Structure 1
Amino acid sequence: MVTALKRLTLSEYLNYENQTDTVYELVNGELVPMTLGNALHGDIAEFLHDHLRMEIKRVGLPWGAKQMTVGVQSPQKGRWDTCRIPDVTVLPTEQWQQLRLKTEAIITLDEPPPLLVIEVVSESTKTVDYRAKRSEYTVLGIPEYWIVDPIAGKITICELIEGFYDTKEFVAQEQIRSSTFKELHLTVAQVLNP
């Protein structure tokens, strides 16, 4: 006997409780457990989060960097909702203050997109990070999307230009060039081997 999965709306997702520590993304109305990733995945996300916070403070930008604490509602053609939780999200401080007033820290479709999102690729998330999320983040108008890929040994920076992402790939000792963080001095090797 096959049991049909119950699809959830965004509202149901926000109120979902399963009595476990599992974190879920909502994809086309279905709960998709987020893999923990390996220790390197976590180290890379933490390294980027910490360095972006330091850079924000050093330059004096009115922004914040958040690690796996901000959801981003994604547009879908069908009737079922999708909500992603990037590894790192950079957003204006004022927007974060507004999210703190909500029950859940979810940026909905009627709100401005974050300034930058970063996804660290795992073996199980390659296709989603490179294809699905890239398409969703383009439609949302997120100005910059980093795909940090320790498996391929590269970082792809997608910059939104006239409604489409232009991409730049960086490898090895190359310094990352970000339009959002123009003065950031990090190489791919530093990021992938924190």
Structure 2
Amino acid sequence: MTAVDERRMTQFFEGFEPPEGAKAELLRGVLVMMSSPDIVHNWIVADVQDQIPRRWARLQTQDVDIVGEASEPVPDLVVLPKDSLPSSGRLMPCQLITMVLEVVSKSSVHQDYVVKRSIYAAGGIPTYLVIDPIMAQCVLLTKPTGQGEDADYHAQEIIKFGEPVPMDDLGLELDTSEFGTLPDVRPHRYP
């Protein structure tokens, strides 16, 4: 995709209003729409947000600007130091972000484990936490390296629900003991 095409897509996306009950993201120049999240999803996001100390800014569904990417992902939770929080704006610069969180749904498995993993690593976001109520696990990704589609996280730790997740960048251990699961959903092969 050329720079002109990327700019045009970004301009289109900025003015795009998804239908009621849907969420839209721009991922590597592709407009991706998803249905509203499940209660299990929302409860997990709220639980994680409540565990993060108030010295951190904790923003749900904040559009993120990834430098050098035709991407504007909308993580389920964005965490950054409060003193880094801009006073306004639709796009949060990736350089300010300490952690992003995605909670996996039936329709987001590939995007959360593959596409967004690479996008967040390309943006240099230090911590990417994937919480997966299908597989009852958390995948903690740290140490981003590389650029573009070749970007990835050098360190990966898989933690089962019920075990604490060491969130070193935030100075806490995340309690996963009350995370719910999605019943009657076929297991997947990720990460």
1:143 aligns with 2:126: yes
The match for 1:50 is 50
Distance 2:19 2:112 in 1: 28
The match for 2:109 is 126
Distance 2:67 2:82 in 1: 24
Residues matched between the structures, number: 170
**Higher CA-based Rg:** 1
- Given the two structures, how large is their TM-score scaled by the length of structure 1? 0.75
- Given the two structures, how large is their TM-score scaled by the length of structure 2? 0.76
Q: Which runs of 5+ in 2 are unaligned?
A: 147-152, 182-191
Deviations 1:66-98 (A, max 9, x none): 111x11134667xxx2210000110122332x2
Tell me if the contact between 2:122 and 2:144 (Cα under 8 Å) persists in the aligned partners: no
Distance 2:105 2:161 in 1: 19
Distance 2:142 2:164 in 1: 16
Distance 1:173 1:18 in 2: 36
Distance 2:113 2:14 in 1: 26
Shift, 1:126, TM fit: 0.6
Q: Which runs of 4+ in 1 moved over 6 A?
A: none
Of the candidates 82, 88, 108, which is equivalent to residue 101 of structure 1? 88
Shift, 1:176, TM fit: 1.1
3-state DSSP of counterpart to 1:128: helix
Distance 1:76 1:12 in 2: 18
Change beyond 3 A, Cα 1:159–1:101: same
Alpha-carbon RMSD: 2.6
3-state DSSP of counterpart to 1:142: coil
More strand by share: 2
Tell me if the contact between 1:27 and 1:82 (Cα under 8 Å) persists in the aligned partners: yes
